[in-house]
Amino acid sequence: MSLVFDRPLLSEQLTMAATEVLETMFFASVDTASDEAESPVGDRIGASLDFHGACAGRLALSLDRATAEGLASNFFGGVGEGGAEEDSQSVMVELTNMVCGAMLSHLDRNSIFCLDTPKQLEPGQEPTGEIVRDLSLEDGLLRLAFSLQESAPKVDAH
Amino acid sequence: MAFDVMIVDDSPAMRRFIRRVIEVSGFGVGRYLEAGNGEEALKQLEHEWVDIVLTDINMPRMDGEELVTEMRKQDHLMAIPVIVISTDATEARIGRLKQLGAQGYVTKPFAPERLREEIETVLGVTPEGALVGAGMGMDGGDDEFSF
């Protein structure tokens, strides 16, 4: 079975997966979620991850650096030996991994997906994809982008 | 009672997080061993004994499925309980790991209590040292598989 490109469903699942991960492991809440709005500004960092298996695609996200440092502090319970910069980079990678895994698992519980190792985005690079969602956190904006390969069947149900 | 724990994950951040969760859970831990993939884990386990292995699935060189498979083949490792910690919550994956011989499975994201409960179940003791009735201990029995 492969995923069907149902934009509203994927958009909803993307938001749900990110919210679940943020609340459970980073003790952060999502205030609002919306489709891509204005281009985020400021000093931002991000990561992306390719997945394959029943279906292939990519998930990427970005966050302003200060918020990433706050999430890292929540995740680790303090700042590590490598400092806040290293912590925030590694947390972005973990956040990407967990959001992607949670989303795919919710979408198709009967297939096996393999997640590649997440990669950091270049400084200033914002994630792009067929579906882009902006999640407003307490003091920052998390941008999520999700794409399926063209082989994924598309439906126009909405 | 203090346990020796091995954490296998290619992400240093995740290893650090899991270690922190175990520490705040109150389990007495003697030693933490860490490995970045299954191959490194097996190499360490050639000359080290641990009471429990917590492993990710997707890792370079040797993934978690291969690690569990290898551990179940080797006489000196088959008794060590394994808990898989993964973002993959699909029934297909969980079923496959169960067949391979993992005793526990925790899907990310997880609350700290969830990992503590799984360790309690698999080891058969609480952080306070009380025995857990349904614990499978080291016998590897399939009936108590705790997904």
**Pair A54, A112: CB distance under 8 Å:** yes
Q: Decide if B90 and A109 are in contact by the 8 Å CB cutoff.
A: yes
Query: How many domains does chain A contain in total?
Result: 1
Q: How many CB pairs under 8 A join A and B?
A: 80
Confidence of residue B145 (pLDDT cuts 50, 70, 90): very low
- pLDDT surpasses 50 at B133: yes
Does A156 reside within a domain?
no
Superfamily of domain B3-123: Response regulator (3.40.50.2300)
Which long-range CB contacts under 8 A does A85-93 form with residues at least 24 apart? Answer: A87/B13, A88/A45, A89/A45, A89/A120, A90/B11, A90/B12, A90/B13, A91/A26, A91/B13, A92/A45, A92/A46, A92/A47, A92/A61, A92/A63, A92/A68, A92/A118, A92/A120, A93/A47, A93/A118, A93/A120, A93/B11, A93/B13
CATH of the domain at A80: 3.40.1550.10
- Which segment, A120-124, B25-29, B60-64, is predicted with the most confidence on average? B60-64
Q: Which residues in chain B (61-120) have CB-CB distances under 8 A to chain A?
A: 86-93, 96, 107-111
Q: How far is CA A17 from the centre of its chain?
A: 8
Q: Decide if B108 and A98 are in contact by the 8 Å CB cutoff.
A: yes
* Per-residue pLDDT reduced to its tens digit, B82-91: 999 999 888 8
Candidates A48, A90, A67, A44; CA nearest to A136 is A67
- pLDDT surpasses 50 at B140: no
For residue A82 the two structure tokens come to 């490598």
Beta bridge partners of B82: B53
Which residues in chain A touch residue B108, judged by CB atoms under 8 angstroms apart? Answer: 21, 25, 97-98, 101-102
Backbone angles phi, psi at A144, to 5 degrees: -120, 140
Given the structure tokens 């979620």, which residue do they identify?
Answer: A33
- pLDDT surpasses 60 at A155: no
* Per-residue pLDDT reduced to its tens digit, A73-106: 999 987 766 677 888 999 999 999 999 999 998 8
Does A139 reside within a domain?
yes
Does A157 reside within a domain?
no
Whole-number pLDDT of residue B104: 96
Element at A120 (helix H, strand E): strand A119-120
**Pair A38, A81: CB distance under 8 Å:** no
Confidence of residue B96 (pLDDT cuts 50, 70, 90): very high
Whole-number pLDDT of residue A87: 87
Interface test with A, best of B15, B25, B57, B87 (most A CBs within 10 A): B87
Q: How many Å lie between the alpha carbon of A118 and the closest alpha carbon of chain B? A: 10
CB neighbours of residue B101 within 10 Å: 17
Q: Which amino acid is at B42?
A: L
* Per-residue pLDDT reduced to its tens digit, B59-72: 999 999 999 999 99
* B25 contact A CB<8A: no
Interface test with A, best of B14, B88, B98 (most A CBs within 10 A): B88
Residues contacting residue B79 through CB under 8 Å, at least 6 positions apart: B138, B140
CB neighbours of residue B125 within 10 Å: 19
Residues B20-33 have a mean pLDDT of 90
For residue B108 the two structure tokens come to 């990310």
Please give the DSSP secondary-structure letter assigned to residue A117. Answer: P
Residues B29-43 have a mean pLDDT of 96
Please give the DSSP secondary-structure letter assigned to residue B145. Answer: -
What is the extent of the structural domain holding A135?
14-35+42-149
Q: Decide if A98 and B107 are in contact by the 8 Å CB cutoff.
A: no
Q: Is A122 exposed, middle or buried (0-12, 13-18, 19+ CB in 10 A)?
A: exposed
Nearest residue of chain A to residue B87 (CA atoms): A101
Interface confidence: ipTM more than 0.85: no
Nearest residue of chain B to residue A104 (CA atoms): B88
Q: Is the peptide bond before A153 cis (omega within 30 degrees of 0)?
A: no
